[in-house]
Chains A and B, each alone.
Chain A
Amino acid sequence: MYIIGENIHIISEKVKEALAARDREFFMDLAVKQVEAGAKAVDINLGPRKKDYAEVWPWIIETIETVVDVPLSIDTTNTDGMEAALKSVKKAQPILNSTSAEPERLEKVPALAKKYNAKIIALTMGTSGIPVEADARVNIAVETLIPHLMEIGFNMDDLIIDPLVLTTSGCQQYCPHLIETVRMLQYAWDPAPKISVGLSNVSNAVPNENRPLINRVYLSMLMGVGLQMMIANPLDEKQNQVIKWIETGDTSTPLAKLYNKIAEHTANSDEPQIADFDMSDPEQAAIWKTTQILLNKVIYADAYLNN
């Protein structure tokens, strides 16, 4: 699993404070921690920075490149900020995060990625928002994103498609469709495009204590359909454990076996079966309940584990 570490994100109060104080140590430490935990790239989301992009981006890139060698993912909607960041990168080939299929975005962002030899994350979202159906999302990739990138002579190896994970709390019906989109995208083009998702979006607006469980159960389903790259929290040890179990086919413990079963069922286009779960074990029962909300079988509620 290629993890793009998500932890340098302006939504975190600590990141916000550290940025305001231009605290180099904080960012160096957070970048190193993520890479040491296994992140293959580090995402940097500092918000639009409309006023100070020209100063902030070179500063943060220089700070982080002081301590790590991995690719940096430049995560902003501000194209001026993107360019300021791309110009500053001195080490690995960066990732530009992201473009959508909206004409204005598509016009500007891939051209920047090409100019500065960056990889690009392209979202399957058009002007009318995010479609629910898997087919419609795949269509955005094959009818809009890929043709445009080919037209401008973009290196297709550097294209990463993000089919957009939405939260089970409020957009539950999207969760199974995203799994199907990941499955289908791999057959949508030859060679298969790289696919990445923002995993923790699946638990946005979910109470913090329930988020990691929802994230890792969804991850096991997505690994079942072949996901190999994601933006995620590399410091989540239980998540890293699940990745390892599935990647190595480890079934030596009941939980390892269970997560492999979930991946296997999803790979075979069928659903996890309650018979696979030891419902007398609270942990396994919680995993079962989580599969049911993620597959939109049972309506999500914050207290769904008590249901």
Chain B
Amino acid sequence: MPIEIPKDKWPGSVRAITIGATSADGGTRAKSITVGGQTALPYMHFEAPMPNKPVVAVEIKSRKPEDWSTLLMNAWGDAMTSPAAWAKKAEEVGADLIVLALTLADSPSEAVAAVKSVLAASGLPLIVWGPGQAEKDNELLVAVSEATKGERIVLGICEDKNYRTIVATAMANGHLVQARTPMDVNLSKQLNILISDMGMPKERILMDPTTGALGYGIEYGYSVMERLRLASLQGDAMTQFPMLVTPGLEAWKTKEAKVGEGVPEAWGDWNARSINWEILTAMALVESGADIVVLRHPESVKRVKDAIGELVMA
């Protein structure tokens, strides 16, 4: 007897959003990346094809970080001393996008120089994060935004307490924004409304619902992602944005990834465990509908990309 598999047909879809502009579109990127566009839940290939696969961004910093794990220091080596070299190496290990995180020590001109050096070294589309303090974020991101007009960079991070300046400069210079809220569907939607109300085109917003690492609240993170994605498919316009999440940042904060000594032997090899922590965190989020995962370790980049490849083929 033939079995008919029931299929959901959703009234809504996720917006397709393009990051990075090639010379044809007024930028300098070798290629642009499009994410989103889904009309069904993740990997339900029998319901609808997935128009754009999830992509992997690699996080680099404008200055060599002091507080990153020695495992990451060893993996990236000397490349960490210059954002251009680091970006180039990230591209070599398979990054689809670069996230350049600026630091509190950067002046606006240094931030612009770092961003320009990365744009020159790699043809990948770029996301730029401020250091995470409202005043400094605004100061640096406005300078970067103006100096890179037309590149379709993603500027982050917009939060409910500080989004206006970043959104305004992104609007004026043809960039996108990353809207972050703390694992809460209501706040996520609210920030999307506030940013849209400023006049930001909806094709230029990525939402970052925030996540926790495996064992550190990831289930709250992916539950929020699932609810947002369901709402977008049900037709809620203010949730129909691709999702960016930061499993690298979260996974490398955990004890399991950070600590190599004085832990139970059963935890096994430190390096393997740390990388697995980052990969498992990332894959859970990819399966919950993440469109962009931001990673830190080169080995994680390769393995997450392989796994995504298998998921989209399935």
Contact = CB atoms under 8 A, between A and B. Distances in A.
A298 B240 CA distance: 13
Interface stretch (A89-97, A190-198, A222-230, A299-307): A299-307
Contacts of A298: 231, 236
A169 B186 contact: yes
A170 interface: yes
Interface in B180-220: 184-187, 189-190, 192-194, 197
Contact of B193 (A172, A297, A303): A303
29 contacts: A169-B186, A170-B186, A297-B234, A298-B231, A298-B236, A299-B185, A299-B186, A299-B228, A299-B236, A299-B238, A299-B239, A300-B186, A300-B189, A301-B187, A301-B189, A301-B190, A301-B192, A301-B193, A301-B238, A302-B186, A302-B190, A303-B190, A303-B193, A303-B194, A304-B193, A306-B193, A307-B189, A307-B193, A307-B236
A304 B197 CA distance: 12
Given A307-B237, A307-B238, A299 B193 contact: no
A30 B37 CA distance: 56
Given A169-B186, A170-B186, A307-B237, A299 B231 contact: yes
Contacts of A301: 186-187, 189-190, 192-193, 238
Chain B CB within 10 A, most for which of A172, A301, A303: A301
Interface string A152-188: 0000000000000000011010000000000000000
A303 B238 CA distance: 11
Interface in B226-251: 227-228, 231, 234, 236-239
Contacts of B192: 301
Given A299-B189, A301-B238, A307-B238, 14 more contacts: A170-B184, A170-B186, A297-B234, A299-B231, A299-B239, A301-B187, A301-B190, A301-B192, A302-B190, A303-B190, A303-B194, A307-B193, A307-B236, A307-B237
A208 B262 CA distance: 53
B225 to A, nearest CB: 13
A196 to B, nearest CB: 27
Nearest to B228: A299
A303 B191 CA distance: 9
Contacts of B238: 299, 301, 307
A175 to B, nearest CB: 13
- Report, as a range, how many residues of chain A touch the other chain: 10 to 19
B200 to A, nearest CB: 14
A135 B249 CA distance: 42
Among all A-B residue pairs, the 8 with the closest Cβ atoms: A301-B190, A301-B189, A303-B193, A299-B231, A299-B189, A300-B186, A302-B190, A307-B238
B189 to A, nearest CB: 4
Interface size on B, as a range, is 10 to 19
A87 to B, nearest CB: 45
A218 B194 CA distance: 26
Contacts of A300: 186, 189
Interface in A281-304: 297-304
Contacts of B187: 301
B164 to A, nearest CB: 15
A47 B52 CA distance: 56
Contacts of A306: 193, 197
A45 B228 CA distance: 38
Nearest to B187: A301
A299 B227 contact: yes
A302 B188 CA distance: 11
Nearest to A306: B193
A140 B154 CA distance: 51
A298 B228 CA distance: 10
B235 to A, nearest CB: 9
Nearest to B238: A307
A303 B231 contact: no
Contacts of A302: 186, 190
Contacts of A304: 189, 193
A307 B193 CA distance: 7
B227 A303 contact: no
Nearest to B235: A298
A95 B238 CA distance: 45
Contacts of B190: 301-303
Contacts of A297: 234
B187 to A, nearest CB: 8
Interface in A80-138: none
B240 to A, nearest CB: 12
Contact of A303 (B197, B228, B236): B197
A297 B228 CA distance: 12
A304 B238 CA distance: 9
A302 B228 CA distance: 16
Interface in B64-103: none
Contacts of A303: 190, 193-194, 197
Quick one: which of B189, B227, B237 has the most chain A CB within 10 A?
B189
A214 B144 CA distance: 43
A209 to B, nearest CB: 15
